[in-house]
Each structure stands twice: as structure tokens, then as C-alpha cells.
Amino acid sequence: MSEPDTKFGDYGGQYVPEALMPAIEELTDAYERYVLENEDGFMDEFRERLRDFGGRPTPLQRADQLSERYDHEIYLKREDLLHGGAHKLNNALGQVLLAKYMGKERIIAETGAGQHGTATAMAAAHLDMPCEIYMGRRDINRQRPNVFRMRINGAAVNPVDIGRGTLKEAISETMRDWATTVERTHYVIGSIVGPAPFPAMVRDFHSVISEEIRQQSRDQLGELPGSVVACAGGGSNTMGAFAEFVADDVDLYAVEAGGSSLTVDEEEGVAPHSASLSTGEEGVLHGARTKLLQDSHGQIMESHSVSSGLDYSGVGPELSHLVDEGRVTPVTVGDEPALEAFHRLSQAEGIIPALETAHAFGFLEETLGPDGADEAAIEEPVVVNVSGRGDKDLEAAIEETEKRSLDAAPTMEVFEE
Ligand SMILES: *Cc1c(COP(=O)(O)O)cnc(C)c1O
């Protein structure tokens, strides 16, 4: 019998109020039985639904133009083609199905930009479960299309007015709901964060990504990848793409949001980046010990990134551990090179990536491009995880592009009638 991972070196754990412990224990038991031991054929049903509802497997595609530009074999793992347009459905579907097996009657989740809320609402509609999503008031106003997508899928969206009205407060509010409704409610956490067993469980639901990359590399390339590159916010698409390669001789790069600068002005209380793996210090947030953006007094600092999905002060405890071990290499890519990469991938390959994903491609340019840093550094073949498509980001990308003068960008001028 496999034991669930609750600690990753010094990271992870269960830093939660007493009221949540029964829920955490019940969930740990269900995770062991249904996910790790496939009781009642849970994992078979999960895989079947990922195939028929989600559209798995997603392709591993050679990027012809990028391979030529960088003189390296570049392959794309197309999670943007998963139902909903991002990797997030793997986890949302897994957790909602698990809630059903546990006999729960109600699903709650938090969302920042709305991507996780949307995936959860879709999974809950698919499995006929009532669903409520907590979302900061400010995020609701910034992300209207996703609010409509959630409601159209039948979910209720609960505005959170405390604090700054963003993801951090939405998570706290969802935990509060869960503590008083645990008997009939499951909380679908959106990344490899939170108290154990969430980080390990969410990783397991996403590890289908690296299982497929492994099989597809063998079948299509006749070898394993030399490197795997993925962007990291909380780190769920990252660990999903890395999980099956941790024990192999495959280089793993986690690309964080470098934002507008890596230099922090403590007076501001806000870091101009979201690089918790590269610059963070150990602390506790949302139930787990992990690397966090904090000031010199240990206060958690707000983060910044042009991509809302990477804009988080923490990161998964397992990734923090793998970075300390030297197994995962953290790198940063700023707002501007990410925007340039957004346009470059769209024009070169006909794939509009999510702004989150664009950071992973910015890393290729900064390493292998014409002004690149170190050509010999990346082992071929290189697999980049395309965590999501950019339709949700068109408006933000146009606005942010127009603020800067970027060589790669087309004109966004609107023609008068
Ligand atoms: C949410 C999101 C991310 C960041 O989340 P992780 O847990 O770090 O994977 C990255 N890419 C896309 C497309 C997303 O929607």
C-alpha cells in the first residue's frame, strides 16, 4: 500500500485550524483508497472521463518554426487542447469525481482569474453536482467573461469583499465555508498548494500530462526528452509535466513570473514579481510550509505578474523541495519578454498561448534566441508544456502590448468605419 506524501523535505504539512482536521482526515483516507489504490475502479472512471469529456490524450507536437529558430528540437505538449482550454480540468474533474465517491453533495472552490472556477463549474455540471465559487470582488470586475462562463455552467459565484478582494481572500473564505459544512461539502483546491493531502493529490491528477509525454516521446521520438519546461504559478501544470521524470536524467525547468523587476521596495508591501521559488523564503501560507514572498518581518507580500494565473505569493511545497534538492531549476521571465513570446508563438506556430504559458516560451528565447544567454544549456529534445490557450488573455495582451513598444507585436489599431 502506498502512503500519501504529506511532507516534502521540510515543506508541506497540515497547518490548519482544528475545525478542518476531520475534513482533512476524511479526504486523506479517500485519497488513499480511491486514488492510490483504485478502490471501486475510481482511477479507471477518472481516465475514461478525461478521455471522453476532456479529450485526452492531448498531442505532443513538433514546433517546426521554433525548432529552426533555436536550432534545437522543440516539442509542444498541447494542454491548451484539453476541454476548457487549459490543464486545469485534470484536477477539477478528479476532485469532483472523488467528492462523488465520498458521498459529498456540494462542491465549493476559490478562483482568482476565474480559470479554476470555470474548470470546476464545468466538472460539477458534467457530474451533476451543485457548485459555488468564491471570488474576490475586484477579480469579479476584472474577469467578467469567466464569471459568465461559471454561471452559464450552473455555478453560483459568491463575491468576497474582505481585504483586497483577490485570490488570497477568496481562499480564506472558501476554507471558512468548508470548516462549517465539511460533512456534505468538498473543497476543490486549484493547484498543488494547501494542506496535505492536496499537494500530492492534485499532482497525481495532473501527472497524466507527464505519463503521456513519456509514452509519446518514446513512440514519436524514440527517446525521452532531454528537458521539460513549464511555467509555475502554484505549480500544478509544472508538477504534472515533471512528475514522471523526477527519477530520470531529464532536466526540469520551472519558469516563474519575473514581473516588472526582481527588486523589491519593502515600503510598497508588494513584490513587483511572483518568483517565490527563485527569491522566496520559507513560511506558512494556506495550510502548508513552502517558499513565499515575504518582507523582512515575515509579512506575506502581494505578488505581481502580467498573467493573473501566475500572480500568487506562494508555490507548491513539493516544488520548493525539488528546487532545494537541485532537481528542478527555477528561472524567471519578466512581463515584457513574456508578452514578446506571446506574439512570437502566435505568429510562428499559429498557437495563441495563455500569458502564463508565454513565460515558458520567453525562457527559450532568453536562453537559445539570437541574444540568448547560453546555447549549450538546454538538453534536446525540449518539451514545453503549453498549459493553456490565450483566448482569455486577448484583451489584457493587447492592452499591455500597447503600453510598450514591442518589436514582435503587430499593430492593434482599430480601423474606423
Ligand atoms: C492557472 C494557470 C496556470 C498557473 O497554475 P499552475 O498551478 O502553476 O499550473 C498556468 N497556465 C494556465 C494556462 C493557467 O490557467
DSSP string, 37-83: S-GGGHHHHHHHHHHHTT-PSPPEEE-HHHHHHHTS-EEEE-GGGST
Asked whether the predicted pLDDT for residue 141 surpasses 90, the reply is no
Asked whether the predicted pLDDT for residue 406 surpasses 90, the reply is no
Query: How far is CA 365 from each of CA 323, 327, 344, 360, rounded to the nearest angstrom?
Result: 22, 23, 10, 9
Fill in the amino acid letter for 114: G
Asked whether the predicted pLDDT for residue 411 surpasses 70, the reply is no
Is 77 among the catalytic positions?
Answer: no
Ligand 1, residue 357: give the atom nearest the CA: 11
Q: How far apart, in whole angstroms, are the C-alpha atoms of residue 117 and residue 144?
A: 12
> What ranges in 153-235 are assigned the alpha helix state H?
167-181, 198-206, 208-216
Q: Output the CA 186–ligand 1 centroid distance in Å.
A: 21
Q: What pLDDT was estimated at residue 371?
A: 84
Catalytic choice (88, 104, 168, 392): 88
Closest C-alpha to ligand 1, atom 14: 309
Q: Indicate the angle between helix axes 198-206 and 89-101, nearest 10 degrees.
A: 120
Catalytic choice (110, 256, 356, 400): 110
Task: Find residue 282's DSSP bridge partners.
Answer: 291
Radius of gyration of the chain (CA): 20
Fill in the amino acid letter for 86: A
Q: Output the CA 181–ligand 1 centroid distance in Å.
A: 28
Task: Quick: pLDDT tens for 74-100.
Answer: 999 999 999 999 999 999 999 999 999
Q: How far apart, in whole angstroms, are the C-alpha atoms of residue 288 and residue 269?
A: 22
Residue 268's pLDDT band (cuts 50, 70, 90): confident
Q: Which of 80, 191, 384, 386 to mutate to test the pocket of ligand 1 (most atoms within 8 A of CB)?
A: 191
Q: What pLDDT was estimated at residue 163?
A: 82
Is 260 among the catalytic positions?
Answer: no
Residue 255's pLDDT band (cuts 50, 70, 90): very high
Q: What pLDDT was estimated at residue 1?
A: 46
Q: For strand 288-292 and strand 281-285, is the pairing parallel, antiparallel, or unpaired?
A: antiparallel
* Ligand 1 lining (C-beta closer than 6 Å): 86, 88, 115, 191, 231-238, 309-310, 354, 356-357, 387-388
Among 416, 222, 190, 228, residue whose Cα is nearest residue 322: 228
- Which residue segments constitute the domains of the chain, with CATH numbers given? 19-53+87-202 (3.40.50.1100), 60-84+207-403 (3.40.50.1100)
Q: Output the CA 49–ligand 1 centroid distance in Å.
A: 21
C-alpha of 328 from chain center: 16
Q: Output the CA 167–ligand 1 centroid distance in Å.
A: 14
Asked whether the predicted pLDDT for residue 375 surpasses 90, the reply is no
Q: What pLDDT was estimated at residue 113?
A: 87
Asked whether the predicted pLDDT for residue 203 surpasses 90, the reply is yes
Kindly report which listed range (136-145, 169-178, 230-239, 241-250) carries the lowest average pLDDT score.
Answer: 136-145
Task: Quick: pLDDT tens for 144-187.
Answer: 889 999 999 999 999 999 887 788 889 989 999 999 999 999 99
Asked whether the predicted pLDDT for residue 66 surpasses 50, the reply is yes
Residue where the block lists cell 476531520: 22
The answer to whether the beta carbons of residues 367 and 377 sit under 8 Å apart is yes
Q: How far apart, in whole angstroms, are the C-alpha atoms of residue 64 and residue 71?
A: 10
Q: Which of 80, 81, 87 to mutate to test the pocket of ligand 1 (most atoms within 8 A of CB)?
A: 87
Is 387 among the catalytic positions?
Answer: yes
Kindly report which listed range (58-62, 63-67, 95-99, 143-147) carries the lowest average pLDDT score.
Answer: 143-147
Query: How far is CA 306 from each of CA 188, 200, 334, rounded to the nearest angstrom?
Result: 25, 28, 9
Ligand 1, residue 240: give the atom nearest the CA: 9
This prediction's pTM = 0.96
Q: How far apart, in whole angstroms, are the C-alpha atoms of residue 209 and residue 38?
A: 19
Q: Which residue has the higher pLDDT, 303 or 154?
A: 154
Q: Is 68 exposed, middle or buried (0-12, 13-18, 19+ CB in 10 A)?
A: exposed
